[in-house]
Structure 1
Amino acid sequence: MNYRNDIEKCIEYIEANIQEPFSVKEIADKAGYSVFHFSRVFRRIMGMSIMEYVRKRRLSLAAQELLQAEKIIDVAYNHGFDTASGFSKAFRKEYGYSPLQYIKRMKPFYQQGISDMKGIYTKEPQIVSKPAFKVAGYGIKTNIIGNSYTSDIGAFWDNFNGENLEAKLYEILNPIRHGEIGVCMLTSEWADIIYVLGVIVENFSKATDDMMLIEIPEAEYAVFETLPVNTVHDLEQREFAQVIKNTWKYIFEEWFPDSGYCYDEDKYDFEYYDERCHFRPDTVMEIYIPVKKV
């Protein structure tokens, strides 16, 4: 399934209607996806949420108009801002200076590009069938459409590590094997989700009231192992996090188009972290993508 082509068609639609009001649902409908699935695919490929992309495009187009001697108030209205002050605030946040300062500097407008991932990921995934299993763990509520999604997940990981919730999970649940599952659960049609980091359990009898419980159905998966990274001296594991992000991007942008598979929206994808991802010279993790033949 060619997700990249679908995203490009949606971007064409956005560009053609960039000065018109529209919703994420309207764009998702154009692609034939649910809001939740489209939002995830868009973020994985483009590196940002749909509305963040729209905001950046409107501001970059506004920047061009500013350099063409257009009035600030007119530019603001042309690109969906109700007031000049609201536009100026958004512009300063994006570029680091006000529209007036921008005009005075006469520098080319900034447009965030998408890094070229071709050739970076070379491993072929394993296609495996996995029976249903149960996960218990701790989670956070967020929204995949909003701009806070990435920071919410990052803050959750910081809290998970800072409060040593991993040790708490193993102490309370005593799972059969070591390994954490990171999974997103859709809770509404508007892409509200719960991100859960937990362990596989035989049943939920030991789970406490503050834990979240998920039953993962039987599914066929494409399993991607990330390229090894040396994290021995990288306490924040920034390079490892970037490799994971790059792998997700590769999956939806490069692997799916020629794979003969499509994403199975009735199942869960998840990340799997075990003893191989703890400050090793060959740190790796696995991404499980539910698939079905096209």
Structure 2
Amino acid sequence: MNIDVIEKDAFKVMGFAVKTKIWRSGVAIGRLLRKIDKKGTHENIPNRVDPDILYGISIDFLKNKGVCSYMFAAEVSTFKNLPKDMETRTIPACKYVRFFVSPKDENIAKILNVKNRKNYGALIRGAYRYLQEKWIPESGYKRADISEVFEIYDLKDIEEGIYVCVPIE
């Protein structure tokens, strides 16, 4: 299992968002991705720091009792030239537990209690559950009081897997 702890400075993101229920977000996120395809893909996000990295960010994850906003975004250097259909957010500096989840890992489905290791949505939900219900309590860390949790998608290696990140202290 590939889990590590990282520290990340505050960073700015720009992209598309949708309000959704936390554990039933697949339909809303699917609609969001179709909307992005119709209006222009992530490539239209201006001022990108890295053209190959995208974030899937659950915003207000702790605040709204089962409802959050999900943002598909890129890290940007500035919020200048914000397209009217995009949103911005500054993610605060924090320490994160980072879990690399790969559909190629034959043991991952068992570890995360997921039936199909090729289903990214199920893997992501399983990884969040695992980190928050097992890894964090057993590690000596605590869940930080920051509402954002996120996935990191490296478009060059998306078939290999993604990172799931949860703030800790």
TM range (shorter): 0.7 to 0.9
Partner secondary structure for residue 142 of structure 2: strand
Contact 2:17/2:87 (8 A) holds in 1: yes
Percent identical: 23
Cα 1:261–1:153 shift into 2, 3 Å: same
Specify the alignment match of 2:150 in structure 1.
270
Match of 2:111 in 1: none
Match of 2:71 among 189, 196, 209: 196
Query: Which blocks of at least 5 consecutive residues in structure 1 are unaligned?
Result: 1-121, 231-236
Contact 2:54 2:153 in 1 (8 A): yes
Deviations 1:203-250 (A, max 9, x none): 1102212111110011111111013439xxxxxx95233222222222
The 8 Å contact of residues 226 and 247 in structure 1, kept in 2 or not, is answered as yes
Q: How many correspondences in the alignment? A: 155
Q: Say which structure, 1 or 2, has more relative contact order (CA 8 Å, 6+ apart).
A: 2
Q: Residue deviations 1:76-110, cap 9 Å, x none?
A: xxxxxxxxxxxxxxxxxxxxxxxxxxxxxxxxxxx
Deviation, structure 1 residue 194:
1.6
Which structure would you say has the larger Rg? 1
- Closer/same/farther in 2, CA of residues 240 and 156 from structure 1, 3 Å limit: closer
2-side partners of 1:255 and 1:227: how far apart? 18
Where in structure 2 are the equivalents of 1:191-230 lying within 5 Å? 191=65, 192-229=67-104
Residue type of the partner of 2:144?
A: D
Which contiguous aligned blocks of 4+ residues in structure 1 show a shift greater than 3 angstroms?
Answer: 187-192
TM-score of the two chains, using structure 2 as the length reference: 0.77
TM value normalised by structure 1: 0.47
Counterpart of 1:155?
28
Structure 2: unaligned runs, 5 residues or longer:
106-116
Q: Which residue number in structure 2 is paired with residue 251 of structure 1?
A: 131
Do the aligned residues in 2 keep the contact of 1:223 with 1:287 (CA within 8 Å)?
yes
C-alpha RMSD over aligned residues: 2.8
CA distance, structure 2, for counterparts of residue 284 and residue 166 of structure 1: 26
The structure-2 alpha-carbon separation of the partners of 1:259 and 1:273, relative to structure 1 and needing over 3 Å to count, comes to same
| Match 2:4 to one of 126, 149, 174 | 126
Measured against aligned partners, the alpha-carbon deviations of 1:184-209 in whole angstroms (never above 9, x if no partner) come to: 22299543422111110011102212
Q: Give matches, 1:1-294, under 5 Å.
A: 122-123=1-2, 125-144=3-22, 150=24, 152-161=25-34, 163-164=36-37, 168-177=41-50, 178-186=52-60, 190-191=64-65, 192-229=67-104, 238-275=118-155, 276-277=157-158, 280=159, 283-292=160-169
